[in-house]
Amino acid sequence: MFTNFSLVHIQVLLNGLLWTVILSMISFVFGGLVGFALALGGISKNRAVAGLVNAYISLVQGTPVLILMFVIYFGLPIVGIEVSSLVAASVAMVIFSSAFLGTIWRASLQSVARTQWEAADCLALSGWQRMGLVVLPQAVRIATPPTVGFMVQIVKNTSLASVIGMAEVTYIAKQVNASTFQPFTTYLVIALFYFAICFPLSVLSRRFERIYSVSRR
């Protein structure tokens, strides 16, 4: 027997939205840490390291996130490693995020003028001092707009975790729809939830892009 869509259902959906935000934060934070290491490896003078980074990024960017989730959630138990849907979704999203953030940040580091690198060498700065004091502050300004913009993709891709049973907002919406049979109302509500998160990020990304493009003139 179906029930009417009510404030109780909205509260349940908000609980699911909390897990969407948590998964998004895990993906961005840990994906960012791995991505930064990939960015540094990508500009390394060591061809083996740079080659491994390029291979990893190409492999991940050429694989759908959903397939990564399937491999981790359904594949690992075959070799005796049981993982929850949260862990599987988190690992898959971290792998996905790291490849794209690594590409963004590597390109940002490479966008810093070579004269800046050479000036740091003339000041006899060590490699880490050159990176931390000269290159990185400039690269951060370049990387901020696309990084904020990519956060929108992270939030939207978390919806794929519903396929492996993680109780984020899309998965909860399926259950609410099953009990109310009001798909238009249910999915309109979660569409508004996603919009409330993604639209401000998109606006912020464009704002950073305008600010930093003016400052570079």
Give tens-digit pLDDT for 125-184.
Answer: 666 777 776 778 888 888 999 999 999 999 999 999 999 999 999 999 999 999 998 999
Give tens-digit pLDDT for 1-48.
Answer: 568 888 999 999 999 999 999 999 999 999 999 999 999 999 888 999
Decide: 120 and 134 in contact? Cβ < 8 Å: yes
- Is position 8 within any domain? no
Distance of CA 82 to the CA centre of its chain: 24
- Is position 110 within any domain? yes
The pTM of this model reads 0.90
Structural domain for 53, as ranges = 21-215
Query: How many domains, the chain?
Result: 1
Length of the chain: 217
- Is position 162 within any domain? yes
Q: Report the CATH number that the domain containing residue 182 is assigned in CATH.
A: 1.10.3720.10
Identify the helix (H) or strand (E) that includes residue 42: helix 7-42
- Is position 169 within any domain? yes
CB atoms within 10 A of CB 42: 22
